[in-house]
Structure 1
Amino acid sequence: MTKTLEGSIALVTGATAGIGRAVALQLAALGAEVVVHGRSAERGAKTVQEIQNAGGKARFVAADLAEADDVRRLAAEVGPVDILINNAGVYKFGTTADTDDAFFDEHININLRAPYILVAQLVPGMAARGGGVVVNLSTIAAAVPARMGGVYGASKAGVELLTRVWADEFGRSGVRVNAVQAGPTETPGTAATPGLAESFATVTTLGRVAGPDEIANAVTFLASPQASYINGAIVQANGGQLAIAP
């Protein structure tokens, strides 16, 4: 495999499992030094070891993305990066009437505020150095209403809008910002609710759940030099939307 990211440093949030772990492994295989973020030091160590066993470079930094000051501490501890993958997220379900302040705040703080802070802390440095890449993870629920998933979808719709804003804000400085709109994916998070991903898969044209690597492939492509003229895009890796039928 060509080491197209040799010499670069990448921060991947939520990189100890699921899509984030797959992204971290792929970026490392392309030569990037990967900063693995998560909350579990044990899972972080496993991801780092897996990367190192394959000949890559990685280190783990823990942080609670629900706490704004801890997000800033994460950025400071990681230092300058060339690639930022805003992958970490939370998704819970409930009706509007059943959604309390804690439920609402958790989604907004982790899914929307944390990426905003990381971009504010890390991307000006990319711009000053003349280049860099940000890839944000979104969801089909940002574009298609998901029953009892309004807060989750709204937080990710915000991420998609910010993706376009940041592409405009930093593009002239050589920083590309894109997002991947993921469909139903088999991860430890979805596995905790048996049948969840499979039920969403029934409304995709492919009719199946994605594997983490399938979503990571899109993320890694956007982070690579091969996507050098793609900026402000919301790439759909969601299995396709079924046509309206009579």
Structure 2
Amino acid sequence: MSASTALQGRTALVTGATSGIGKAVARSLAGQGATIVLHGRDRARGGTLVKEMAAEGGAARFLSADLTDAEDTLRLAAEAGDVDILVSSAGLYEFAPTSATDAAGFDWQVAVNTRAPFLLVGALAPGMVRRGHGSIMLIGSSAARRPAPVGAAYGASKAGAEILTRYWATEFGPSGVRVNTVSPGPVHTEGTAAMLGEHTALLERTNARGRAGDPTEIADIVSFLVSPASSYVNGSILFADGGELSTLPA
């Protein structure tokens, strides 16, 4: 971990912190001195991560919650207590065509990708406002702006999170609370590997960099956007997708 102390004395709640981008974010923020409240569904993985971070000099505790359940989401906020930083990284996706997505599938994705951050912000932002400082960070997706033949429900849920970012930046910004989103393109995570299987190599041909991202690259952006170094950045959607491919005329 970095020896930086930019976030010393701050407490950060990171949802979806036991794998992928969320895990990388949690370790990065701990490396800057923040105390981390790790959220996930798997208590065993959460306990292992707490021990790993402690061995690296970080301070963390784990809370389990089902973000598809509104009451459990609010319980998570209550048990997290006063936090200075909220990173909403937990996400669910089902890349199916519209005709194969039923109401339960739609609601499942919206509950975690849009409603959960809405409820967490509603519960935690007032405390940030009272203290006069805070940073809220959403992990978006390029699916919100790059349509595809599948995944409409997922794209809609992430687009909802992006518009919430702009509303919240306006609502809480005057009180010292900043709200931003980083919108990744394809990133190598356990989730993408499970979804694509033997087709994972396709990720390397989707952007101008010619490769998929690494979770630590997204974590570095999050760390900057929640730190004092980005104090004038509010209501931004930062695209971290390797750049769009250009289509040359025939």
Q: Same fold (TM over 0.5)?
A: yes
Give a deviation string over 1:198-220, Cα, whole Å, max 9, x none. Answer: 42441200111111101111111
* Rounded Cα–Cα distance in structure 1 between residues aligned with 2:182 and 2:200: 18
- Residue in structure 1 matched with residue 222 of structure 2 by the alignment: 219
- Do residues 235 (structure 1) and 244 (structure 2) align? no
* Rounded Cα–Cα distance in structure 2 between residues aligned with 1:29 and 1:37: 18
- Residue in structure 2 matched with residue 44 of structure 1 by the alignment: 46
Structure 1: segments with no counterpart, 5+ residues: none
- Residue in structure 1 matched with residue 206 of structure 2 by the alignment: 203
Quick check: 1:137–1:181 contact (8 Å CA) kept in 2? Answer: yes
Give a deviation string over 1:93-147, Cα, whole Å, max 9, x none. Answer: 1111111111101000010000000000001110111010000000111111022
- Residue in structure 2 matched with residue 157 of structure 1 by the alignment: 159
Quick check: 1:198–1:208 contact (8 Å CA) kept in 2? Answer: no
* Rounded Cα–Cα distance in structure 2 between residues aligned with 1:196 and 1:23: 26
* Identity across the alignment (%): 51
- In structure 2, what residue type is equivalent to 1:110? V
Q: CA deviation at 1:91?
A: 1.0
Quick check: 2:144–2:155 contact (8 Å CA) kept in 1? Answer: yes
- Deviating 4+ runs (over 4 angstroms): none
- Residue in structure 2 matched with residue 64 of structure 1 by the alignment: 66
- In structure 1, what residue type is equivalent to 2:235? G
Q: Give the RMSD, CA atoms, in angstroms.
A: 1.0
- In structure 1, what residue type is equivalent to 2:70? A
* Rounded Cα–Cα distance in structure 2 between residues aligned with 1:138 and 1:200: 18
Structure 2: segments with no counterpart, 5+ residues: none
- Residue in structure 1 matched with residue 7 of structure 2 by the alignment: 5
Matches within 5 A, 1:37-186: 37-186=39-188
* Rounded Cα–Cα distance in structure 2 between residues aligned with 1:196 and 1:76: 41
